[in-house]
Amino acid sequence: MGTVIPVYSSTDYQFFKLHELPEKYLDECAELLSDEWSSKNPAGRRRILQSSSNDLPIHFALVEITSREAHGHIKLCRCLNNEYTFYAESVCVAKKVRGRGLGRIIMSFTERYIREHLAGNRICLQTLDAQGFYENIGYKKCTPVQFTKLVLAT
């Protein structure tokens, strides 16, 4: 992958800023998101992924070291009126590798990123189907303020 330096690494995976990676990873992230949430506007989804920036929103890809394939994605945004809280969305692990701890790794790297690079201390998100997953990794329900779905935070 040339000289792109991962933000964080585990034994088998590396966590990259999507905008620092070659185009192939944008395609792979678009595909794994489409595999989970079909889109009527694939070009629009690509544009959203292409907008990843250090200034946020930022997208990250979790890449397997041996296959060099993207197996996970997360998008991180700022929250209005709270500089220490960040909003996570489109958290997705490729279907073929779910249940192996990758979702936990993505959230743990993201939590570390907001602490180390954004001086943050809290991630908010909303979910319906993955409530059990987030509770399993330490997230708790918080009072809904501006979201209409279930809101979790750590």
Q: Which is nearer to ligand COA, 119 or 128 (CB)?
A: 128
- Which residues of the shown chain bind ligand COA in the complex (CB under 6 A)? 36, 89, 91-93, 98-104, 127, 129-130, 132-133, 136-137
- Residue 87 CB, shortest distance to ligand COA, in Å, is 11
Are 14 and 65 in contact, with CB atoms under 8 Å apart?
yes
Q: Which is nearer to ligand COA, 50 or 131 (CB)?
A: 131
**Look-up of token digits 């088998």:** 12
- Residue 20 CB, shortest distance to ligand COA, in Å, is 22
- Residue 3 CB, shortest distance to ligand COA, in Å, is 29
Q: Which amino acid is at 115?
A: R
Check residue 40 and report its DSSP letter: S
Long-range contacts of 21-26 (CB under 8 A, 24+ apart): 21/61, 21/63, 25/61, 25/63, 25/70, 26/50
Q: Which is nearer to ligand COA, 46 or 104 (CB)?
A: 104
Got the DSSP string for 96-135?
A: GGTTSSHHHHHHHHHHHHHHHHH---EEEEE-STTHHHHH
Q: Which is nearer to ligand COA, 26 or 123 (CB)?
A: 123
- Residue 137 CB, shortest distance to ligand COA, in Å, is 6
